[in-house]
Amino acid sequence: MFKWQSLYPLLLLVLGIITYFITLRYKIRTSSRSKEEILEEFFEKELEASQVVRGTLPQELFIPINTEAIPASPDVELESLYQKVLTIGKLPMVNLKEKSNRDLKKLYGINHLDTLITYEKNYDTFIDILIKYGTILNEKNYTEAAQLTLEYALDYGCDRSRPYFILAELYSKQKNTTRLTRLKVLAQTKLLTSPYLSKVLHHIDELQETCK
């Protein structure tokens, strides 16, 4: 006589497989709906931000550059680069790296978005040239001028790793542990916008050990 009990394991296996596929299909559908909802929410927020119009940009948004504080070129070969620093330093600039385009539209208005993008490009160009100027000063052994120039770059919110590396080396040679520590703290605050600064932190740790 045939015993149905012998089919129980097989029936349980089949039932388990069916349940698995039903659950999987449900999750896929739920996931798809979630993606659609997320996408819809995204476009709604973008549309909302794109309808914001603001008045004049607030003055505190701009970065005031004191070009007179930047060390003058001590070398004829660096004069043209120094003049570029001065010229670009007079342009309006902002540093809004931590804000998205949507944030900018909501805070300052869609009517100012292109202008803000231009001003941020001015800032990036200024920082790049300032770093280049300071780097060459250092290579030519104009140490004091190089240090001041690169420190100004950091004062203006620079998150590039090169000035940090150069300044760390200069402070280490000076056995200036206080400035090394300050440099490390500053680098830590910039990790969000520049993850590469983690290498700087590691390098500073090594230099601090040698300064003990």
The DSSP string of 140-204 is: TT-HHHHHHHHHHHHHTT---HHHHHHHHHHHHHTT-HHHHHHHHHHHHHTTTT-TTHHHHHHHH
Structural domain including 205 reads: 159-212
Residue 12: the pLDDT is: 46
Give the end of a domain, one of 82, 113, 141.
141
Residue 124 pLDDT grade (very low, low, confident, very high; cuts 50, 70, 90)? very high
Please count the structural domains in the chain. 2
pTM for this one? Answer: 0.76
Give the end of a domain, one of 141, 172, 188.
141
Residues 166 and 127 in one domain: no
pLDDT at 93 > cutoff 70:
yes
Is the residue at 146 inside a domain?
A: no
Residues 74 and 136 in one domain: yes
pLDDT at 9 > cutoff 90:
no
Residues 133 and 171 in one domain: no
Is the residue at 52 inside a domain?
A: no
DSSP state of 51: T
Residue 209 CA from chain centroid, whole number: 28
Give the end of a domain, one of 86, 107, 141.
141
